[in-house]
Amino acid sequence: MVPNSEITIVKGKGIPRSEILYRLMKILKGLNINVRVLFQDEFEEAIS
């Protein structure tokens, strides 16, 4: 099992809001990993 940890993702240049990132966030949340995303508001809304 994956230990509880916190991952901070910072929006970098040239990183689009993509289906890959969306699925990655869903997978991480499914593994009980606290994900704090520092993306634009629309991205935060998409994964909330």
Question: How do the residues of the chain divide into helix, strand and coil, expressed in percent and rounded to 5?
Answer: 40, 20, 40
> For the chain, which residues make up each domain, given as ranges?
6-47
Q: Residue 14's pLDDT is what?
A: 57
3-state secondary structure of 20: helix
pTM value is 0.31
Comparing 1 with 21, the larger pLDDT belongs to 21
* pLDDT for residue 24: 78
For 9-45, the pLDDT digits (tens) are: 656 555 566 777 777 777 777 776 556 655 555 555 6
Q: Residue 23: its pLDDT value, please?
A: 76
The pairing of strands 6-10 and 34-38 is parallel
The residue with greater pLDDT, 29 or 1, is 29
Question: What number of other Cβ atoms are within 10 A of residue 43's Cβ?
Answer: 20
- 2 and 34 Cβ atoms separated by less than 8 Å: no
